Structure 1
Amino acid sequence: MQPEQLELFEITPDYRDHKKYREGIFKTKAQIKAELLELGRDRIYHVLSFGGGTQSAHLLEQHFQGLIHYDYIIFSDTGAEPQFIHEQVAWWQRRQQACGNTTPFIITHHSSMERGLEEMLMRYIHTDYQRFQMPVYCSTMDPVTGEIKAAGMMPRQCTVDFKIVPVKQAARRAVLELHGLGYRQQMPDNIGFIIDIGFSYDEIRRINTSQSPQFKYVRLAYPLVEQNETTAGSIRFLEDNRFPTRRSRCYLCPFNCDGARDIGMDWDEIIEAEPLSFLKACYFDQALRKVQRTGSKIMKSIPFLHYSRRPLDEVYAAEHERISAVHGAELNRWVSGWEAAIQKKWNPDELLIRA
């Protein structure tokens, strides 16, 4: 039964009834800990992957209240969060100090693309880099009739590559350093990690494994699922305590919605709170289709950031015109700065496209 059906019939969700638990894809922290101990990894470090939004903030507050233990709190900067998410992260750091909590709070980023998703997209647009790591909406064109039809979405790889993997790497570095070891040295055989991810019960579909593909001694846990907690429940918890409730996502996230599809993450919030970021999103939306039309990319579908599969600056035409009049020159400086940075770092012979 789907989460919407559970809500419709007012049935309390229970992860133990879910197929992913019955098939062993989702495991409880107790099960994960038992597995690590059986492997001789009896020094287990507990890590919170803090996203700066709602669900992981719920877990963070549980930690401050002494309900969950963490050895490290790690926030991975994707390089494309709205400024209000960075402000929210800073709020929680102040909250930690006020609580007298001294758990190390680490901020990290992607290992090779330090400037995150913006760098990945600029690299994709301006060089021969082929790996695309965002879940854009796609359309296809019939080569005979020219008819354009809605297709599916690209895989959602950005969360793993720009959030979860950097958290694993940062946790590994911190513990190796704690034990007097270098980053390239082997992790001692008795050490294991349990990294908590803030997916809620209604996001259980996003859980694919409890075993890290990168590191054999790292396991992933989902305490909110184990608590049968929903996204709405976490938001209510934050509201009841007068904590920040902005949803964590990137300013160009294709899961931003509007109107009837409102899920607390919408384009209107980006437009009003960060107009320049909205122009950046429109730039990427246009540039991705422009480079796709060159035929130089593996991706053959036509990409869109808006779920309607229409250009973002067309969906919000009036807003785009108004904001461009104010921030257009700033956007051009931002694009030029990125073009220079991409040429310097990735050294393409020539930029594939220009704005």
Structure 2
Amino acid sequence: MEQLTLFEEIRNFKNHKKYRNNVFKTKAEIEKELQAKGVDKIYYILSFGGGTQSTHLLEQHLKGLIHYDYIIFSDTGAEPQFIHEQVEWWQKRQREYGNTTPFIITHHKSMERGLEEMLMRYINTDYQRFQLPVYCNKIDEETGEEVKAGIMQRQCTVDFKIIPVKQKARQLVLEELGLKSNQRMPSNVSFIIDIGFSYDEIKRINFCQSPQFKYMYLAYPLVEENLTTEDSINFLIDNQMPCKRSRCYLCPFNCDSTGVDWKEIIHEEPLSFLKACYFDEQLRLVQKTRRKVMQSIPYFHYTRIPLSEVYAEQFKHLNEQFKEELQSWVSIWKKEINRKYNLKVA
């Protein structure tokens, strides 16, 4: 108990170097700076993920503790169905509260079907950009064997979650102001977008001013409250609210025994698990062609073993059960890639 009390005393975001170095600021500090610059209209946006932390913020909004002008959920195209069900649960709860804040669902601007489209495009075309944090190996020149080679940068959250929210927020406000999509945002208008990072995720915070839109700023209310991911989960559990953590079914950060794991995907959505195994295998096959900039050998599982081998028994059973559905999904995607990118896919 004494150790816990000591930990609570030192859990203060203001002591963290990222705050001291102005990597991020409190919402009040951002507001004060904007007002000093002559900004008299600030739009408040919730970047809603449908999982645990951003739902904690949404509940605070519904109770009148935080104000938002828009709630925006960016569909990555690879969330498990249970996350979509949680989004629907919160939409229903918002209606029950009588809250009329616009609740918008958006997606990646050019790849509307999200991460599945990105991966299929990467595998089947000359597209080079790769946004998933896969675990990488390389070939040792002396032994010819695979050795660990780090992990790819995690760019998917920014590209498929945060930027689409910013783009949609910009579009909505321009329309509200009677302006066209190609017009500049008025100089007296700014945005503050709340991101559901927790105190234990401060390392994920890299800036407070958007690099895409200079009139947009990012705030982290749960960090300001010194709340951890576990605090938000406990809050949801205590209030009998859905508490599955938001992530994609194919995320390499799925890890056993963390509450965000492959076993939950296998149990809840077996076909999605087979899709992840498909992508995991195909990425290594396409790397062998040497037509990609990324030369590392990618794996979805942290052990750097094929996902289908890590869970060999489950894969064998599920592949027998859902083989036709998986083949149909692959066939439909290849036709879509052919249609959209005007390429013949083998």
Question: What's the TM-score once normalised by structure 1's chain length?
Answer: 0.95
Q: State how far apart, in whole Å, the 2-side matches of 1:7 and 1:78 are.
A: 38
Aligned residues: 343
Deviation of 1:40 after TM superposition, in Å, equals 1.8
1:111 aligns with 2:109: yes
After superposition, the C-alpha distances for 1:270-302 in whole angstroms (9 at most, x for unaligned) are 001100000000000000000011111111111
Describe the SS at the equivalent of 2:149: strand
Structure 2 letter corresponding to 1:336? S
Match of 1:253 among 251, 259, 263: 251
Counterpart for residue 197 of structure 1: 195
Deviation of 1:38 after TM superposition, in Å, equals 2.1
Match of 1:38 among 36, 39, 62: 36
| RMSD, matched Cα | 1.2
Match of 2:127 among 126, 129, 139: 129
- 1:1-355 alignment, distance < 5 Å: 10-12=7-9, 13-258=11-256, 262-348=257-343, 350-351=344-345
Q: How much identity, in percent, do the aligned residues show?
A: 66
After superposition, the C-alpha distances for 1:157-214 in whole angstroms (9 at most, x for unaligned) are 0000000000001111111111111111111111100000000000000000001011
After superposition, the C-alpha distances for 1:229-265 in whole angstroms (9 at most, x for unaligned) are 000000000001000000000000111111xxx2211
Describe the SS at the equivalent of 2:190: strand
Q: State how far apart, in whole Å, the 1-side matches of 2:212 and 2:50 are.
A: 24
Q: State how far apart, in whole Å, the 2-side matches of 1:9 and 1:154 are.
A: 36
Runs of 4+ off more than 6 Å: none
After superposition, the C-alpha distances for 1:321-354 in whole angstroms (9 at most, x for unaligned) are 1111111111011111111111111123x43xx5
Structure 1 letter corresponding to 2:7? E
Q: State how far apart, in whole Å, the 1-side matches of 2:236 and 2:82 are.
A: 16
Describe the SS at the equivalent of 1:45: strand
Describe the SS at the equivalent of 2:327: helix
Q: State how far apart, in whole Å, the 1-side matches of 2:73 and 2:246 are.
A: 12
After superposition, the C-alpha distances for 1:20-42 in whole angstroms (9 at most, x for unaligned) are 00100021001111222222221
Describe the SS at the equivalent of 2:147: strand
Deviation of 1:143 after TM superposition, in Å, equals 3.0
After superposition, the Cα gap between the structure-2 partners of 1:255 and 1:9, relative to the gap in structure 1 and judged at 3 Å, is farther
Q: State how far apart, in whole Å, the 1-side matches of 2:303 and 2:180 are.
A: 49
Describe the SS at the equivalent of 1:180: coil
Structure 2 letter corresponding to 1:267? W
Describe the SS at the equivalent of 2:218: strand
Deviation of 1:9 after TM superposition, in Å, equals 5.7
After superposition, the Cα gap between the structure-2 partners of 1:279 and 1:206, relative to the gap in structure 1 and judged at 3 Å, is same
Of 29-38 and 224-233, more deviation after overlay is shown by 29-38
Deviation of 1:7 after TM superposition, in Å, equals 6.4
Q: State how far apart, in whole Å, the 2-side matches of 1:278 and 1:79 are.
A: 15
Q: State how far apart, in whole Å, the 1-side matches of 2:276 and 2:189 are.
A: 42
Q: State how far apart, in whole Å, the 2-side matches of 1:107 and 1:264 are.
A: 26
Q: State how far apart, in whole Å, the 2-side matches of 1:159 and 1:35 are.
A: 27
Describe the SS at the equivalent of 1:10: helix
Structure 2, gaps ≥5 residues long: none
Q: State how far apart, in whole Å, the 2-side matches of 1:48 and 1:33 are.
A: 16
Structure 1 letter corresponding to 2:267? E
